[in-house]
Amino acid sequence: MNEHDSEKMSALLENVGFTQVSAAEAADVVVINTCSIREKAEHKVYSALGKLKSLKKKNPAVITVVAGCVAQQEKENLLHRAPHLDLVLGTHSIAQLPNLVEQVGQSRRQLESTAFAGDVESLHMNAPLKGKNQICSYVTIMQGCSNFCTYCVVPFTRGPEQSRKLDEIVDEVRDLVKRGIKEITLLGQNVNAYGKDLNNGTLFNDLLKELNGIPELSRIRFTTSHPRDFNDNMAAAMADLKSVCEHIHLPLQSGSDRILAAMNRGYASLEYMDKLQRLRERIPNVAVTTDIIVGFPGETQADFEDTQRALQIIRFDQIFSFKFSRRPGTAAREFPDQVPEEIKTERLSAVHRIQDEITLQHHKNAEGAIEEVLIEGIKNGNGQPFGRTRTNKIVNIEGSERIREGDLLKVRIVRGLKHSLLGSLIN
Ligand code: 5AD
Ligand code: SF4
């Protein structure tokens, strides 16, 4: 979501005549897009602010902007803290970036724009012309989150859940496809709740069906799904709709029911496993990835063992794991029995050890399989083409000069490595 916001901001500035430069020293405007999901991400902002200070000293005309979730969270405090900062741009103000930059340029006064927009239409959600590459694009389908998991800052920094209209999304995807995009990733904090707030009967499955009907679009991905809202209908849609890829990112967070309840996740671990089991029955080769938090307040050794056990039972293809981080405004920040840092560190390493072995095993099991790979690029250094399987695994392809970006190829997996697969083209 954050990456896509950066793409939008750079496209909006390019629309009014700016061009990207490779060094901050050469820029007229510097935008730092920020994340506040964990403390570590937020800390990066403060070291970046230090760099802006020296930049401003050398070139007082440069316009400095902090955007994103830290901007939203800290608002005008950032302007007090960093007098060399010109503009604080909240998560709902992205579309106003060019205007505000112009205003700052004229008035040379510090500005802040962090109000939440009343409706999703004012947020300028269209995908920019230049995305992460010319083959794959993100498409925002909803903004914000209303779940209030007790550890999470997102409902505060991105506001309440609001879905975009189905027609608007479909038009955007058609446009992308005309420009040569072959794969889209639908973005939302909780995509399976898509449409509920529209109150017109449209739900996530309707959107998937509609998009699956666009013939030139090869692949549809989506993230993130919430286990509580994931159901059999969605599993059926994934199985039946040709363009919908066989991969789901379904954050479990913890294997302990006590902790899941304290997190306000709205499901128990068995329920999660049950839903997954039914999905795997429909799509045996489905890839499943997840997020895990270790060291949530009150997490005992026994709770943590439940998480370890869940990892062993479920055997995710890949996980993203984090130490619990106390975030401003969240309920869990104030919970008793905060877990000491050393224990969090130990638990995180234990989780890594378990999962590294499982991921490698998945990759080894893929050896010999024939996979469809969408080529996303050619590596600069060695000219090696790379892409992803439908199950979202990275495949580097052994030398073939005929391969071009955007090709959809049948590839035999010859080796499963720690982070990727090695494939060779089938003639
Ligand atoms: N501490 C640690 N991890 C967090 N996440 C969200 N908030 C926190 C927090 N306060 C993780 C969750 C979520 C992912 C995007 O980030 O696992 O799924
Ligand atoms: Fe945060 Fe929970 Fe919403 Fe995900 S579902 S963005 S973890 S509040």
Rounded Cα–Cα distance for residues 130 and 221 (Å): 19
Does residue 152 line the site of ligand 1, with CB under 6 A? yes
325 lines ligand 1 (CB under 6 A): yes
Residue 202 one-letter amino acid: T
Q: Which residues pair with residue 103 across a beta bridge? A: none
Which SS3 state, helix, strand or coil, does residue 308 take?
helix
The tens digit of pLDDT for each residue in 246-260 reads 999 999 999 999 999
**What per-residue confidence (pLDDT) applies to 118?**
78
Each residue of 10-47: pLDDT tens digit?
999 999 999 999 999 999 999 999 999 999 888 889 88
| Proximal ligand: closest to the CA of 348 | 1
CA distances from 319 to 250, 252, 271, 315, 405 (A): 10, 10, 19, 10, 28
The per-residue pLDDT for 399 is 72
Helix ranges (H only) for 164-247 are 166-178, 204-212, 232-240
176-180, 288-292, 370-374, range with the lowest pLDDT: 176-180
**CB neighbour class for 118 (10 Å; exposed up to 12, middle 13-18, buried from 19):** exposed
Query: Is 156's C-beta closer than 6 angstroms to any atom of ligand 1?
Result: no
Q: Is 380 helix (H, G, I), strand (E, B) or coil?
A: coil
User: Residue 204 in contact with residue 244, Cβ under 8 Å?
Assistant: no
Provide the whole-model pTM. 0.96
Nearest of 347, 344, 351, 392 to residue 38 by alpha carbon = 344
Ligand at shortest distance from the CA of 147:
2
Say if residue 419 is exposed, middle or buried (CB neighbours under 10 Å; 0-12, 13-18, 19+).
Answer: exposed
State the Rg of the chain over Cα. 22
Handedness of CA 212, 174, 370, 427 (dihedral sign): positive
Residue 266 three-state SS = coil
Residue 406 tokens, joined: 């955007």
pLDDT classification of 275: cutoffs 50, 70, 90: very high
* Residue 331, ligand 1, Cβ within 6 A: no
